[in-house]
Amino acid sequence: MDKIVVRGGNALNGEIPIAGAKNACLTLMPAALLSAEPLTLTNAPRLSDIRTMTQLLQSLGCEVAALQDGKVLAMGCEAITNEVAHYDIVRKMRASILVLGPMLARMGKATVSLPGGCAIGARPVDLHLKALEAMGAKMDLRDGYVYATAEGGLTGGEYEFPVVSVGATENALMAATLAKGTTVLKNVAREPEIVDLAECLIAMGAKITGQGTSTITIEGVERLHGATHRVVTDRIELGTYMLAPVMTGGSVECLGGTRDLVGAFVDKLEECGVEVEETARGLRVTRDADKPLKPLHVVTEPYPGFPTDLQAQMMAMLMLADGESELEETIFENRFMHAPELQRMGADIRVRGGTAHVHGGKPLRGAQVMATDLRASVSLILAGLAAEGETSVSRVYHLDRGYEKLVEKLSACGADVERVSENG
């Protein structure tokens, strides 16, 4: 097993290319199940989660080829040959549930294991099931599986989500493209990944309006055809790397980034004294290490609010701020598991319920720490960039789920970081 070793103190300067969005690509790949014709995705990230989704699609009868060093995914599903998404694959990743809607829409039946792959809260799938039931599906949960049927196919319906859910919006949106009649989905997620999925489906022949707003209307079609689609830039990777020069001082240009992807996040950076400039190629982030950062009050919210997936990274940055900051987590429970690990590095963090109080401005020291989930893992690396001495981050398999070539990208800007064997 590997670990990542960070030796802090180096200012970062240079440029970092931002990959295609993991969360978008994991949603776009199941869309291949909706058509007998090929779907090709460009700008795909090269991550372990993408490989897991590839295995899942292949188990259902899809052909998937990774081209151009994995940046292009060519998928074809002329026929779904297996209607069961088995536990041994689905358990690895929450996004596996996204095959349910497409399989049900195309086949009229699907059996999908309840997913795993998440240590940050329960994240139940009930909203996925209720939205599909509004289109006429019948659900039976037993033995850890969802048995879904829609005899004669799905029909148009109306469903208002009681709370905003990205995954459930995606599942319902894909399913509705092949339903008979019109489907209206209300109080839907508005994330860029939702808009990206809708644009891909439209390129495949779907009739969709309202993406990016709180109501999406889908007029079902008889069939979808093949298409080629470019995966949107990963806004979470973008925000993560924007924090690297903030932690160390310096200036880094994040290639492919746009302010609209991370507007609420940029607002907070500027509020605490960081300079963010839009360039012809992306976003440039600059911080004078001699100027103290201002404390913040941050509340995670559905898009376009502050992303929960950047909360852990922001906590690492606020350890450097001059004063007390507050982070309120409103999306997921159990998402402050990185706080005890950051405390090992000298951070003064106190968690009360869904709020973390960060008393910044205290020196950070390198330490042996352990990643508890994907975003927590990278928050520890960011902290290591600013800490005195050496930080060793173990269980970095979490990191491989969401960040490609992290060591190479940070090293190219002057960071002293390497990946080594736990036994090395």
302 annotated as belonging to a binding site for a ligand: no
- Of 186, 208, 185, 184, the closest CA to residue 197 belongs to 208
Tell me if 123 is assigned to a ligand binding site.
yes
Closest CA to 336 of 367, 358, 320, 321: 358
Is 125 annotated in a binding site? The answer is: yes
- Is 235 annotated in some ligand binding site? no
Check whether 331 is labelled as a binding-site residue: yes
Backbone angles phi, psi at 180, to 5 degrees: -80, 120
230 is in an annotated binding site: no
Q: How far apart are CA 111 and CA 300, in angstroms?
A: 34
Q: Is 218 annotated as a binding residue?
A: no
Half-sphere exposure of 185 (CA within 13 A, CB side): 36
309 is annotated as contributing to ligand binding: yes
Phi and psi at 208, nearest 5°, equal -130, 135
Angle at 22 between CA 20 and CA 26, to 5 degrees: 120
Residues near 47 by beta carbon (within 8 Å), at least 6 away in sequence? 22, 400, 401, 402, 403, 404
CA atoms within 13 A on the CB side of 47: 28
Give the strands of the sheet with 109-113, arranged side by side: 84-85, 109-113, 145-149, 138-142
Query: Is 22 known to sit in a ligand binding site?
Result: yes
88 is in an annotated binding site: no
Q: Which residues are catalytic?
A: 118
Please, what sign has the CA dihedral across residues 108, 118, 20, 192?
positive
Q: Please enumerate, by residue number, every residue annotated as part of a binding site.
A: 22-23, 94, 123-127, 309, 331
Q: Please enumerate, by residue number, every residue annotated as part of a binding site for UDP-N-acetyl-alpha-D-glucosamine.
A: 94, 123-127, 309, 331
Q: Please enumerate, by residue number, every residue annotated as part of a binding site for phosphoenolpyruvate.
A: 22-23
